[in-house]
Amino acid sequence: MRIPIGYLLPTRESVMEGRPEAAPLLKLAQKAEGLGYDSIWVGDSLLARPRHEPLTLLAGVAGRTDHVKLGTAILIPALRNPVVMAHQIATLDQVSDGRTIIGVGIAANVPNVQQEFKSAGVPWEKRVGRMLEGLRLCRELWRGKPVNWDGRWQVEEGVLGPEPVQEGGPPIWIGGNAEANVNRVGNEFDGWFPNHPDPKVVKGIWNNMQAFACITRSIRSPSTGPGCIQLHLIRY
């Protein structure tokens, strides 16, 4: 099995080095596609690790590339209103003609990231539930039909337009090595970002995820088939 290889744009490094211009990053994305990379990725942070806003930058990358997949590695959904986020992602999927992948995570448990949540007015302690519910709401909105939602967010007969190019919305992948992610990939997500330095540990987690996903048969991405999940390696 060939594992796709992606390239993470150095948005954080560019800002740290005093080079915030987007044009060089767009050229890097074009070069990566020309070198044969399968995908281009952008990280996310508001204040803890300043960098370019990922969905906006990926829209620019979409206009400079033709066939590579475009994704977030990783997006922090809990920091965003899911109705607004669903609209942004649907538009990005339209701009990229269905090349979007949304990688997500719950955020690192460190002081500056906790402060970032506080600055955004989001409770740190509720971030996992907020992320999961928000992504479920996104998926409902991506169907293009009237949505009624009574939870953290209130939606009455809401219809999102335009819908994403990909039926049901872009695939959503989870990052991190927590044991809970094994079950979450089977139930909630379409793929996984490994970030453990030991290949044997990665293999063990991956095998467990595959086995669980095949049992649940609940992966939503039609391109991967029932019970299948995707693994993607990213060059930093």
For the chain, which domains are there?
5-170 (3.20.20.30)
Nearest to 26 by CA among 5, 40, 12, 16: 40
| pLDDT tens for each residue of 92-120 | 999 999 999 999 999 989 999 999 999 99
Say what the pTM is: 0.89
What pLDDT is stored for residue 231 in this prediction?
Answer: 56
Average pLDDT (160-180) is: 90
Q: What percentage of the chain carries pLDDT values higher than 90?
A: 71
Residue 106 has φ and ψ, to the nearest 5°, of -95, -5
Structural tokens at position 122: 């989001």
Residue 205 binned pLDDT confidence (cut-offs 50, 70, 90) = confident
Q: What is the pLDDT of residue 60?
A: 98
Tell me what percent of the residues of the chain surpass a pLDDT of 70. 87
